[in-house]
Chain A
Amino acid sequence: MKLYKLALSNIKRNLKKYIMYFFSLSFSVFTAYTFFALLQNEYVLMAFKYDERYKSLLTSFGIVIMVFVMFFLISSNKSFIKARKKEISTYSLFGMTNARIGKLLFLEIIIVGFVALIIGIGVGIFFSKLIAMILLDISLVSFMGDIEFTISPKAAYITAIIFISIFSVMGLSGLRVINKFELVDLFKAHKVSEGRTKGAVIFLILSIILIGFGYYLASGSNPISVVNSSIPILVLVIIGTYLFFWGGLPKVLDIIKRNKGDYYRGVNLISTSGFSHRMKSIGTVMATIAVLSAVATTAIATGYTLYYNIENDVYEQLGYDMYFYGGQEKVLDDVEAVFKKHNIKIIKKLTIQRYTCPSSIEVSEVENSYFRITKEDYFRVYPESLYNKLMSISRCDYKPLKVRAGEAIYVYPFLNDRHRIADAVNGQELNFKDRELTVTSTIKSRLLFFGAKHMIVINDDDFNHLLKIGDITDTDRVGNTYDKVTVFTYEKSLKSTELNRELTKILFASTSGFRTAYNLYEESLQTFGLICFIGFFMGVVFILMTASLLYFKQIMAAEEERHQYRMLRKIGLDEDTERKVISKRLIPVFLIPLLIGIVHSIFAMKSADTIVFSNMIANENSYITVLLCSAVMYGIYAVVYSIFYFITKGQYSRIVKTERK
């Protein structure tokens, strides 16, 4: 029989085992093709080319994916070969040399790989239009269109080259695995201990300390120090995770084993000892998967949170759909005419005068931040009634303020550290000619500053009095009167592309400054849309690959554990108990890395909150919003993992149920 015929018949015979392997190969090819095709797609190129940042982002993203695909393929290939130990040993027994067996396996990989390559690229081509459209749709506000269906030969070519080289590496690594086999080991494969490990308390404690310290650094409230310690955080948490799986978890199992009342229940005895027996061989994989899950969930959660909050953020920044300074007499009529022309209703419109007062407060340093108020600064001042009115017609949802006579509320725009600022500002006195106002509280908001750095809201009577005596003015230092501000809210503001274009033209020509929600929304989408997309894409790839890696490991284990179940059934293990044993045996393998990954991610999101989201999300407690958004993604991640768990359990049960032939 010729070698390739044998290879073909092997594939046919092992079809069931091959199917998942084949699926993951095809999926890797699909991922690669999709990615390269995106890089080649002219619409995508048009959308993102002008920004060099994107190019480097996409490239580094591509490298991460490729490295991971390689790790995944080589690792699953090794598992696959080990799962076929018996078969390989039979060839060896009949006098096939290792080189020839290696050649045979290599042929199998090439045949399966070739088919996977064709199918992966085929599916990639089929979905390329859809994926390009998803990318453009979430990153471009005005993307309406239909893009052409394109086949990218260059992407297919690059993908093929990369995978053929990966397959070759797989073949070589497979040969190494075979060479390490001793014929005698092959025949008693299931008798050889995989290397139990009792673990060590020191590992457990050390891993908890390392991870705990990493978490502590990550949850610091100061954005600058969090950014600075990001590398140490990563190192601490990653090392801690590996230590935990190498020595900590085995120790935990050892402790569980000592609790006889629980451990000596039949189901626990079998499943715990089985799991603990495999700990050494699967520990590294589980740790890697925990780390990757953390990366994937964080990427996906960041993407989703960003995307979910872009629209909110636009209004948190602007408050209205449009506002402009000055030129009211010239443009107001034109603006109204444009709205009429496009048949879009204005919801609210208000023109106000901007007022300021000098600063008599000096706050030189709030620890670890750039916050400061000097006597050279000035405050934007609003009477309580006007402030509340402006807020009520805005797109945001702030509670109306109540300010008593003699008091002032300080509004600060960006900083996270509410308590420190409140401590520094509260109780400070604003001195005017004939009265003093005390700052009694602070709120966080980015609205209504209209060019100022600091803002206060005071009682109406105080305001009128101070305006009369000239402490509050509508002129700047040189004596020029401030331009008035007109704010607008109108319907379909984020969708009216044409309207926005015409408004922009008018306002650009005749006002001294303007902003529209549409323009800001478009900018934000361009910045964040790609990040979101990369987050999703990477998340999906990582989820599927880590989960199928676990699948392979368990299927391999099932082959080796089959004889144990056979014996257990003889002793008197009934089907129900067997099901329970299998569940308990497999659940930790999927659950522990997932949980640790998610916990890591929760703390990573805390850092992301401190650095990015707390400035973006207006809620008092932005971390809650971040967590809620993340929870959606964690949920999806968990669902995908459970699906893989059930597939694995089904296959595992089938394998251990078949009697040895």
Chain B
Amino acid sequence: MQVLKLINIGKVYGSKKSIKQYMALKNISFEVMEGEFIGVMGPSGSGKTTLLNILGSIDKPTTGRLIMGDKDITSLNKKQLAKHRIENIGFIFQDYNLLETMTLKENIILPLALSGHKPGVMEDKLKKISKNMGITKVLGKYPYEVSGGEQQRAAACRALITNPKIILADEPTGNLDSKSGKDLLELLSFINNEYKTTILMVTHDVFAASYCEKIMFIRDGEIYNELYAGNNKKEFFDSIIDVMSVLGGE
């Protein structure tokens, strides 16, 4: 079953009259199926962040349509979009983006609180998810009191707690050391396998990408290539490096 469908998405920066127009995305179309773990790679300026922002409905495409389930997201107004984000999308950011004014617990339940759930429901969901993520002990602490890995896991809990249709991860390993980075990737795989949650991750880290099942490469705002993971992880890793060297990335 498809979760997301992009039809001819294009994004132009700068006003239409000005000469300084810049096409960040050009006619991108693809589908995301339920349970997929997709990586998006590409050199800087290729349009990956723009794509992620549009998928997360933080930014509006200039042309094309974005369909989620049976809803046309591009036709929603601001308020509906906000609701859509809370209910259907979980975000994991590079710098965790936990609110430092709140405890980890409060951070995690924030999306539920914003959509008006009952405290009892929140507690139940929190209990289950934090146990799975192994951060039950630090729930009462504030972000600056715990390690980077714990912060990132809390951020993952926050993304998951609403049972979103898709999780969008923006360079999630960018700020972590290799051990914590590896932990997080295993965590994402675990989420993907255990909860059957669809994940779309933007990264330029080849190691991170090798955890995905499918990788889309974009260059100059267009899909350049796609790779599927086979059974051999090493092989997949090598072929990612091949494509990246052609693309001119790292």
Chain A: residues with CB nearer than 8 A to chain B?
190-193, 196, 260-261, 264-266, 269-270, 273-274, 276-277, 563-564, 567-577
- With beta carbons under 8 angstroms apart, the residue of B85, B89, B114, B144 that contacts A191 is B144
Q: Say yes or no: A276-B101 contact (C-beta < 8 A), given A572-B111, A574-B78.
A: yes
Chain B residues, CB < 8 A from A264: 109, 113, 119, 122
Across the interface, name the chain A residue whose C-beta is closest to B119.
A260
The answer, yes or no, to whether B84 is at the interface (CB within 8 Å) is: yes
A271 CB to nearest chain B CB (Å): 10
Chain A residues, CB < 8 A from B115: 266, 572
B110 & A269 in contact (Cβ 8 Å cutoff): yes
B171 CB to nearest chain A CB (Å): 14
Q: Which of B20-28, B34-42, B67-75, B92-100 contacts A (4 or more CB under 8 A)?
A: B92-100
The answer, yes or no, to whether B106 is at the interface (CB within 8 Å) is: yes
A193 & B144 in contact (Cβ 8 Å cutoff): yes
Q: How many of B's residues come within 8 Å of A, CB to CB?
A: 32
Across the interface, name the chain A residue whose C-beta is closest to B168.
A570
The answer, yes or no, to whether B166 is at the interface (CB within 8 Å) is: no
The answer, yes or no, to whether B58 is at the interface (CB within 8 Å) is: yes
Q: How far is the CA of A222 from the CA of B116 in the complex (A)?
A: 55
19 A–B contacts, CB within 8 A, in A order: A191-B144, A264-B122, A269-B106, A277-B100, A563-B97, A567-B93, A568-B99, A569-B82, A570-B93, A570-B97, A572-B83, A572-B84, A573-B82, A574-B78, A574-B79, A574-B83, A575-B78, A577-B82, A577-B114
Across the interface, name the chain A residue whose C-beta is closest to B158.
A571
Q: Say yes or no: A574-B144 contact (C-beta < 8 A), given A261-B119, A264-B113, A567-B97.
A: no
The answer, yes or no, to whether B207 is at the interface (CB within 8 Å) is: no
A273 & B106 in contact (Cβ 8 Å cutoff): yes
A266 & B82 in contact (Cβ 8 Å cutoff): no
- With beta carbons under 8 angstroms apart, the residue of A277, A576, A577 that contacts B101 is A277
Give residues of chain B (137-181) contacting chain A, Cβ–Cβ below 8 Å.
142, 144, 158
Q: Say yes or no: A564-B101 contact (C-beta < 8 A), given A264-B109, A266-B110, A572-B84.
A: yes
A274 & B101 in contact (Cβ 8 Å cutoff): yes
Chain B residues, CB < 8 A from A572: 82-87, 89, 111, 114-115
Chain A residues, CB < 8 A from B217: none
Chain A residues, CB < 8 A from B122: 264
The answer, yes or no, to whether B221 is at the interface (CB within 8 Å) is: no
Chain A residues, CB < 8 A from B10: none
Chain B residues, CB < 8 A from A277: 100-101
- With beta carbons under 8 angstroms apart, the residue of A196, A270, A568, A575 that contacts B79 is A575
B86 & A273 in contact (Cβ 8 Å cutoff): no
With A266-B115, A273-B101 already in contact, 12 other A-B pairs whose C-beta atoms are closer than 8 Å: A190-B100, A264-B119, A265-B113, A266-B110, A269-B106, A269-B109, A270-B110, A567-B97, A568-B99, A571-B86, A575-B79, A577-B82
- With beta carbons under 8 angstroms apart, the residue of B97, B101, B113 that contacts A266 is B113
B144 & A269 in contact (Cβ 8 Å cutoff): no
- With beta carbons under 8 angstroms apart, the residue of B101, B102, B110 that contacts A571 is B110
Chain A residues, CB < 8 A from B91: 570-571
